[in-house]
A and B are shown apart, each in its own frame.
Chain A
Amino acid sequence: GEDVEQSLFLSVREGDSSVINCTYTDSSSTYLYWYKQEPGAGLQLLTYIFSNMDMKQDQRLTVLLNKKDKHLSLRIADTQTGDSAIYFCAEYDGGATNKLIFGTGTLLAVQP
């Protein structure tokens, strides 16, 4: 079945770049997403990438997609303490389930 995997924890210093990685299994995924969840809140869509793209940049965020390896990454430049949160990647499985499949989330801790 579908599976989306992420590492559980990442710690960086303020001002450094953060790279959060995700692997997925469904090669037919059309959309892939990154969500951010701040403490005690719901998930907020940060960005998405369509499967015919390799890279997407949006201000401090850069998404890289390697379809051959089914690998997705989110790079946050100049990481700030306000970026501390849980980050979820998700793939849209338009075939079997017609739903988003979420990873387990990566907790990003930004040290001042």
Chain B
Amino acid sequence: DVKVTQSSRYLVKRTGEKVFLECVQDMDHENMFWYRQDPGLGLRLIYFSYDVKMKEKGDIPEGYSVSREKKERFSLILESASTNQTSMYLCASSGVGGGRGNGYTFGSGTRLTVV
């Protein structure tokens, strides 16, 4: 069964902490994505990557950075966590062309609370 695995289901961090959210996929996918999901706002794309060591800004990159040192792993970094970054974070991956009939495969999500 193909999988996208996010390292934590729930996280509680303090304001100002550096936070790492990890995502690993086992499908040899080229593309990986980080979204945040907030009630009434749908999915908002933070960053994405088409290849190792490549990254592109999404719609809301401010306050975030990413790292993709290996094809299977895509990390989201909150340099200095703030309360307005409390959210559900979703990682996804896909093959070329948006995954065609397979679309994106999503992880289970990480519910981050910043206090």
Using CB atoms and an 8 Å cutoff, list the residues of chain A in contact with chain B.
8, 31, 33, 35, 40-45, 48, 50, 88, 90, 92-94, 98-100, 102-105
Contacts and interface: CB of A to CB of B under 8 A. Distances in A.
A100 B90 contact: no
Interface residues of B, number: 25
A4 to B, nearest CB: 9
Given A42-B4, A100-B103, 4 more contacts: A42-B107, A43-B104, A45-B104, A48-B103
A100 B98 contact: yes
B105 A41 contact: no
Interface of B: 4, 33, 40-43, 45, 48, 90, 92, 94, 97-109, 111
Contacts of A90: 103-104
B109 A42 contact: yes
Contacts of A93: 98
Contacts of A104: 40-42
A44 B105 CA distance: 7
Given A42-B108, A88-B43, A102-B43, A33 B97 contact: no
A99 B109 contact: no
B103 A45 contact: yes
